[in-house]
C-alpha cells in the first residue's frame, strides 16, 4: 500500500515537473525555434513560424524531464544505495587483461593504422581516415598533452594556449618562405620560439593567481591573433600565408610532385597524396610520443614533482625553498614548446596558415580536452581528444542523416553545437574527467593510484 502511494506520488511529481519543463522549454524556444528569420528577395528581414519544430523541442524537454524524474533518478538512487550497502568502492583494483595492456594495444593499433585503413578502404578512401581522423586527432592529442603540462601538472589555467600554436605555425611559415629552411630545421626552431614566447609572456603574468591568470592568457592569445591579422606587411593578414613547403623525408625524398627526388617516383608507386599523409601521420605520432615521453620523464624528476606540488599548494612550495616563479615559467615554456612543435607541423600539413586557425575557440577546445580527459592523465586526455575531435569529424560523414532529416540537412553545421553540448554533459557527469586518479611518481612498496578527491586543481 505504502509503496503504491509513494509510486503515485512519484508519478505525480514527475508529471508536474515534466509539464513545468515543457512550459519553460516553450517560452525559451518560442522566439528562437518557433520563429525563423530570413531575408526575402528584397533583402529585407522577414519571419515565418516553425510550430512543428517548436513542438518537438517542447515535447522532448517535457518527456525528458518526466522520464528523468520518474525512472532514471529513482534507478540511479537505488544503484547508489545498493553499492553503499555492499560497501563497494567506485574504483575497483582489478583490471581486465585488455585494460592492463591497453596502452600497448593502443600503440600497436596506431602504428598499423594507416596500413589497416589502406587495406580496408584503399588509397582514396584512406585519405579521409589518415588525414581527417588520424592526423587531426593526433594534433589535438599533442596540443592537449602540451597544455596538460601547464594546466594538469602545474595547475596554471591557460586560456591562450593557441597563441603558442600560432607562434609555431607562423615561425615555420615565415622562415620557410623567406629563408627556405627545411621542415627538420624549423620544427625544433619553432618549438624554441614558442618556448621563448612562453617565457616572455609568462614572466609578467605568472605572479597572478587563478582566474586572473586565465584572463591574462586569454588576452595575450587574442593580442597575438589580432597582431597576425593586422600586421599585414609580414603576415599577409587574413589572407594568410600560402605555399608553405611540405616536409621532406629527412631531406632524402621530397613529396612535391615536380621534384626529381619525388618519393612516389623513387619507389615506383602510383601517384597519390596518401603517401605524404601517411608520412605526416607518423611524424605527428612520433611528436606525440615525444611529448608523452618527456612528460612522463619530467614528472619523475624534481622539476615535475615541483610542478605538481605547485598545483597542490603554492605557499607550502615557497616554504620548502622552491622558486615558484621559475618553476611556473619552466612549466609554461615547456608547454609552449610542444604547442610550437604542433604549430610547425600544422603549417607544413596544411601548406597554409591564417589567423582563422588560432581563435579563442581553439584554446577552449584544447583546454576542454585536457579537463574532460582528467587533468594530468595522458591516457584520459588522448581518449578525450579521440572522442571529442573524432566524434565531431564523424558527424561530417553522416550523410545518411540526410535521409532522415531531408536533403537540406548539413550535419557539419551541428558539429560545434554538439561539441559544446558534449562538453557540458561530460562535465556534469564526470567533473574530474574520464580518468580522475593520479599515478604517484615514486613509491616504497607499491604504486597505488591516488584518488581524484585528494588532488587539487591549482590556484594559479
Residue closer to other proteins by CB (options 112, 301) is 301
Residue closer to other proteins by CB (options 264, 370) is 370
Q: What is the closest distance, in whole angstroms, from the C-beta atom of residue 20 to other proteins in the complex?
A: 11
Place of cell 605527428: 284
Q: What is the closest distance, in whole angstroms, from the C-beta atom of residue 94 to other proteins in the complex?
A: 19
Q: What is the closest distance, in whole angstroms, from the C-beta atom of residue 206 to other proteins in the complex?
A: 10
Residue closer to other proteins by CB (options 278, 375) is 375
Judged by DSSP in three states, 180 sits in coil
Residue closer to other proteins by CB (options 13, 101) is 13
Q: How far are the Cα atoms of 68, 333, 403 from residue 327, in angstroms, in the given order?
A: 47, 10, 56
For 392, residues 6+ apart whose C-beta sits below 8 A from its C-beta are: 415, 416, 418, 419
C-alpha cell read off for 61: 524537454
Q: What is the closest distance, in whole angstroms, from the C-beta atom of residue 219 to other proteins in the complex?
A: 4
Which residue intervals of 313-433 are DSSP H helices? 314-319, 324-350, 360-373, 378-385, 391-397, 401-405, 415-429
Q: What is the closest distance, in whole angstroms, from the C-beta atom of residue 394 to other proteins in the complex?
A: 17
Q: What is the closest distance, in whole angstroms, from the C-beta atom of residue 1 to other proteins in the complex?
A: 34
CA distance 331 to 164: 13
Q: What is the closest distance, in whole angstroms, from the C-beta atom of residue 314 to other proteins in the complex?
A: 9
Biggest CA–CA distance in the chain, Å, is: 88
| 161 close to 150: Cβ distance less than 8 angstroms | yes
- Residue closest to 175 by CA, chosen among 228, 234, 248: 234
Residue 194 DSSP label: H
Residue closer to other proteins by CB (options 364, 401) is 364
- Residue closest to 380 by CA, chosen among 128, 212, 40, 148: 148
CA distance 438 to 366: 20
Place of cell 585488455: 98
| 183 close to 245: Cβ distance less than 8 angstroms | yes
Residue closer to other proteins by CB (options 277, 299) is 299
Residue closer to other proteins by CB (options 267, 429) is 429
Q: What is the closest distance, in whole angstroms, from the C-beta atom of residue 199 to other proteins in the complex?
A: 15
Residue closer to other proteins by CB (options 98, 404) is 404
246: buried, middle or exposed (CB in 10 Å: 19+, 13-18, 0-12)?
middle
Q: What is the closest distance, in whole angstroms, from the C-beta atom of residue 155 to other proteins in the complex?
A: 10
- Residue closest to 310 by CA, chosen among 219, 451, 213, 238: 213
| 457 close to 152: Cβ distance less than 8 angstroms | no
Residue closer to other proteins by CB (options 46, 269) is 46
C-alpha cell read off for 287: 611528436
Residue closer to other proteins by CB (options 122, 431) is 431
Sign of the four-CA dihedral 308, 311, 317, 323: positive
CA distance 141 to 334: 16
Residue closer to other proteins by CB (options 20, 115) is 20
Q: What is the closest distance, in whole angstroms, from the C-beta atom of residue 440 to other proteins in the complex?
A: 5
Q: What is the closest distance, in whole angstroms, from the C-beta atom of residue 17 to other proteins in the complex?
A: 12
- Residue closest to 129 by CA, chosen among 331, 424, 395, 393: 393
Amino acid at each position: 500500500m505504502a509503496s503504491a502511494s509513494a509510486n503515485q506520488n512519484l508519478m505525480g511529481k514527475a508529471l508536474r515537473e515534466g509539464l513545468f519543463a515543457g512550459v519553460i522549454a516553450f517560452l525559451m524556444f518560442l522566439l528562437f525555434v518557433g520563429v525563423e528569420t530570413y531575408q526575402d528577395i528584397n533583402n529585407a528581414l522577414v519571419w515565418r513560424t516553425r510550430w512543428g519544430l517548436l513542438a518537438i523541442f517542447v515535447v522532448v524537454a517535457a518527456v525528458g524531464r518526466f522520464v528523468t524524474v520518474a525512472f532514471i533518478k529513482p534507478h540511479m538512487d537505488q544503484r547508489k544505495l545498493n553499492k553503499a550497502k555492499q560497501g563497494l568502492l567506485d574504483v575497483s583494483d582489478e583490471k581486465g587483461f585488455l585494460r592492463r595492456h591497453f596502452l600497448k594495444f593502443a600503440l600497436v593499433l596506431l602504428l598499423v593504422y594507416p596500413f589497416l585503413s589502406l587495406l580496408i578502404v584503399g588509397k582514396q578512401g584512406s585519405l579521409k581516415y589518415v588525414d581527417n581522423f588520424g592526423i587531426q586527432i593526433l594534433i589535438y592529442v599533442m596540443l592537449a598533452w602540451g597544455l596538460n603540462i601547464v594546466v594538469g601538472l602545474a595547475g596554471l589555467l591557460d586560456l591562450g594556449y593557441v597563441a603558442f600554436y600560432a607562434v609555431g605555425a607562423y615561425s615555420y611559415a615565415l622562415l620557410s618562405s623567406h629563408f627556405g629552411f627545411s621542415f627538420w630545421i624549423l620544427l625544433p626552431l619553432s618549438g624554441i620560439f614558442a618556448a621563448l614566447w612562453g617565457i616572455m609572456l609568462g614572466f609578467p603574468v605568472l605572479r597572478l593567481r587563478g582566474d586572473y591568470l586565465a584572463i591574462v592568457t586569454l588576452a595575450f592569445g587574442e593580442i597575438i591573433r589580432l597582431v597576425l591579422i593586422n600586421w599585414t606587411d609580414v603576415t599577409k593578414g587574413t589572407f594568410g600565408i600560402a605555399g608553405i613547403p611540405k616536409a621532406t623525408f629527412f631531406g632524402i625524398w621530397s613529396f612535391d610532385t615536380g621534384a626529381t627526388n619525388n618519393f612516389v617516383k623513387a619507389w615506383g608507386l602510383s601517384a597519390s597524396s596518401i603517401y605524404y599523409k601517411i608520412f605526416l601521420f607518423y611524424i605527428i605520432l612520433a611528436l606525440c610520443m615525444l611529448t608523452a615521453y618527456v612528460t612522463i620523464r619530467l614528472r619523475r624528476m624534481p622539476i615535475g614533482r615541483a610542478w605538481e606540488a605547485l598545483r597542490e599548494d603554492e605557499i607550502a612550495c615557497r616554504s620548502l625553498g622552491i622558486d615558484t616563479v621559475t618553476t611556473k615559467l619552466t612549466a609554461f615554456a615547456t608547454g609552449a614548446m610542444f604547442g610550437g612543435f604542433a604549430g610547425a607541423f600544422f603549417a607544413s600539413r596544411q601548406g597554409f596558415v591564417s589567423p582563422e586557425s588560432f581563435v579563442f575557440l581553439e584554446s577552449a577546445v584544447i583546454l576542454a580536452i585536457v579537463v574532460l580527459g582528467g587533468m594530468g592523465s595522458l591516457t584520459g586526455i588522448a581518449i578525450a581528444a579521440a572522442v571529442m575531435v573524432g566524434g565531431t569529424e564523424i558527424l561530417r560523414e553522416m550523410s545518411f542523416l540526410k535521409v532522415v532529416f531531408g536533403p537540406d540537412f548539413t550535419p557539419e553545421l551541428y558539429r560545434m553545437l554538439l561539441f559544446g553540448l558534449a562538453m557540458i554533459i561530460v562535465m556534469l557527469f564526470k567533473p574530474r574527467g574520464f580518468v580522475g586518479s593520479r599515478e604517484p611518481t615514486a613509491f616504497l612498496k607499491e604504486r597505488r593510484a591516488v584518488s581524484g578527491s585528494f588532488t587539487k586543481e591549482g590556484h594559479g
